């Protein structure tokens, strides 16, 4: 199943504002529950059952491993450990009352799928992850590597030895050819073909694919979604990554909630 829709969920206030700014004027805004606005309700009386439950609740701890290339690293942002989509996703999830996330971002800049397979996958089991994400493809396209489908298949097969299929998420590669830099390094058809291979291999294994295209495609309308300085490349900004996190977050959260305590 390929998922291409926005869902309102409990992002941090900063991520909510970022996504709202990158969405069109007629797009649905995040629900009020996703903001940090203080409640106008009077404080609960001492001994109120809901208050007691909230104060005594212990967050369930989960581990997420992120695999991929520069896009998962957050290359191009001022502070990748804060601004990458895995970092923003983690921060948003940690704002919830019921979960606490420990992230392990194993992604490396410039890694094509063969390097993810050879240099990242073997380390996954050691982190005992509850969820794993995979986003890779740009460097295969740029290098004209025709082994992408086979490499993705091998990566997913290895991940299935560690995590159940419903807790693995494949993330599409954004279309870098929407920029002048990208048009010199591939074609939109190549991006579509690689994403089609990712979808086919994932769906054959019961793994969900989440398409970040609806956010990436807005770069022509919103210059703040793209780092303007180049070289080396016009990477997504923290604002664009916030949009990706909003797309990915609900499915990761639902997968975590399906785990028996």
pLDDT number for residue 97: 93
Q: Mean pLDDT across the stretch 224-248?
A: 87
What's the pLDDT tens digit per position in 117-170? 999 999 999 999 999 999 999 999 999 989 999 999 999 999 999 999 999 999
134: which strand partners?
Answer: 67, 170
pLDDT > 70: what percent of the chain?
Answer: 77
The answer to whether residue 25 scores a pLDDT higher than 80 is: no
Question: What confidence score (pLDDT) does residue 2 get?
Answer: 59
Task: Give the pLDDT band (50/70/90) at residue 224.
Answer: very high
Question: What is the per-residue pLDDT for 5?
Answer: 38
pLDDT at 231 over 60: no
pLDDT computed for residue 261 by the predictor: 81
Question: In angstroms, what CA-CA distances link 207 with 117, 182, 251?
Answer: 17, 29, 12
Element (H, E) at 60: strand 60-68
Asked whether residue 63 carries a pLDDT value surpassing 70, the answer given is yes
Q: Average per-residue pLDDT in the chain?
A: 83
3-state secondary structure of 113: helix
Whether a cis peptide bond, with omega within 30° of 0, leads into 120 is no
252 versus 52: the higher-pLDDT residue is 252
Q: Which residues pair with residue 66 across a beta bridge? A: 105, 133
Return the domain boundaries, the chain: 2-22+59-257
- Percent of all residues in the chain with a pLDDT value above 90, rounded to a whole number: 67
Is residue 68 a contact partner of residue 115, using CB atoms and an 8 Å limit?
Answer: no
- The CATH superfamily holding the domain 2-22+59-257 is SGNH hydrolase (3.40.50.1110)
To the nearest 10°, the Cα dihedral for 58, 63, 66, 71? 20
Burial class (CB within 10 angstroms; exposed 0-12, middle 13-18, buried 19+) of 223: exposed
pLDDT reading at 200 higher than 70: yes
Burial class (CB in 10 A: 0-12, 13-18, 19+), 89: buried
pLDDT in tens, 79-93: 999 999 999 999 999
Q: Is 204 exposed, middle or buried (0-12, 13-18, 19+ CB in 10 A)?
A: exposed
The pLDDT score that the predictor gives to residue 123 is 98
Q: Does residue 10 surpass a pLDDT of 60?
A: no
Confidence of residue 12 (pLDDT cuts 50, 70, 90): very low
């Amino acid at each position: 199943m390929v998922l291409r829709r926005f869902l309102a969920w409990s992002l941090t206030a900063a991520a909510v504002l970022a996504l709202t700014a990158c969405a069109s004027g007629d797009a649905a805004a995040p629900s009020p529950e996703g903001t940090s606005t203080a409640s106008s309700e009077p404080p609960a009386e001492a001994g109120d059952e809901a208050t007691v439950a909230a104060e005594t609740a212990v967050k369930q701890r989960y581990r997420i491993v992120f695999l991929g290339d520069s896009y998962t690293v957050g290359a191009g942002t001022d502070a990748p450990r804060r601004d990458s989509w895995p970092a923003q996703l983690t921060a948003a999830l940690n704002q919830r009352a019921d979960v606490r996330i420990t992230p392990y971002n194993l992604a490396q800049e410039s890694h094509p799928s063969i390097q993810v397979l050879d240099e990242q996958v073997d380390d996954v089991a050691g982190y005992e992850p509850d969820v794993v994400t995979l986003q890779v493809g740009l460097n295969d396209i740029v290098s004209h590597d025709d082994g992408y489908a086979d490499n993705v298949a091998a990566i997913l097969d290895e991940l299935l030895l560690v995590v159940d299929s419903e807790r693995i998420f494949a993330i599409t590669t954004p279309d870098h050819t929407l920029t002048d830099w990208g048009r010199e390094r591939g074609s939109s058809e190549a991006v579509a073909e690689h994403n089609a291979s990712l979808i086919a291999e994932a769906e054959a294994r019961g793994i969900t694919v989440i398409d970040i295209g609806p956010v990436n495609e807005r770069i022509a309308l919103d210059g703040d979604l793209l780092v303007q300085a180049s070289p080396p490349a016009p990477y997504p900004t923290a604002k664009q990554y916030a949009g990706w996190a909003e797309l990915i977050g609900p499915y990761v959260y639902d997968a975590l909630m399906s785990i028996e305590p």
